[in-house]
Amino acid sequence: MPNYIALLRGINVGGRNKIPMADLRDLFAAVGFTNARTLLQSGNVVFEGARQSAAALEQLLEAETQTRFGLSIDYVVRTATEWKRIIAGNPFIDEAKHDPSHTLVMLLKTPAKAAAVRALNDEIKGREIVRAAGKQLYMIYPDGIGRSKLTNAVIEKKLNVRGTVRNWNTVLKLDALANTQA
């Protein structure tokens, strides 16, 4: 069975959209997925299931999350194979190696249009660097994320695409989890 990685957008942040990881694993089991494993409390799930499109999996999981928890949560799903390509496609290799907590990837529900990426780059006021590749947006925040004006809200507004962000440490941990047996 294929391994998938599901990322939930905006759960367990600031006391909002709380979903315990045990309950999340139970949701995955209830809809027929196996070997669901979570990483951290921010909505990272590695699971196995029959081959389906990412869009179909996202719709199913979003509907089930709404039904079970009463929360409208976006999911972004990638296969373990796609995850390897995301890692290999990082244009910021040195930064990821030396400063992985400030090297991020935003996983998008659909690819960003080139004109929207140019508009986003024009919006950057600090030293942040952004590069798009398919349904990923690779980013560096050399001065930290907390004070940056390049927020998720700004990115999504400029790109007109929903997504969720993970730092490079989490990206690598998810890769390791997807490639181990439970």
Report pTM.
0.93
Buried b / exposed e over 24-51, threshold 16 CB at 10 Å, is bbebbeebebeebbbbeebbbbbbbbee
pLDDT at 1: 64
| Mean pLDDT (whole number) for 16-41 | 92
Q: What is the 3-state secondary structure (H, E, C) of the chain?
A: CCEEEEEECCCCECCECCCCHHHHHHHHHHCCCEEEEECCCCCEEEEECCCCCHHHHHHHHHHHHHHHHCCCCCEEEEEHHHHHHHHHCCCCHHHHHHCHHHEEEEEECCCCCHHHHHHHHHHCCCCCEEEEECCEEEEECCCCCCCCCCCHHHHHHHHCCCEEEEEHHHHHHHHHHHCCCC
Residue 132 pairs with which residues in a beta bridge? 137
Sign of CA dihedral 12, 80, 25, 61: positive
41, pLDDT greater than 70: yes
Q: What percent of the chain is predicted at pLDDT more than 70?
A: 97
What six digits make up the tokens of 131?
């590069």
pLDDT at 182: 57
- 84-178 shares the fold of 3-79: yes
| Mean pLDDT (whole number) for 35-43 | 89
| Mean pLDDT (whole number) for 74-92 | 96
Q: Are 44 and 143 in contact (CB under 8 A)?
A: no
CATH domain 84-178 topology: Alpha-Beta Plaits (3.30.70)
Show me where the domains of the chain are located.
3-79, 84-178
Distances (CA, A) of 107 to 69, 76, 142, 171: 23, 7, 20, 11
Is 3-79 a CATH 3.20.20.80 domain? no
pLDDT at 46: 96
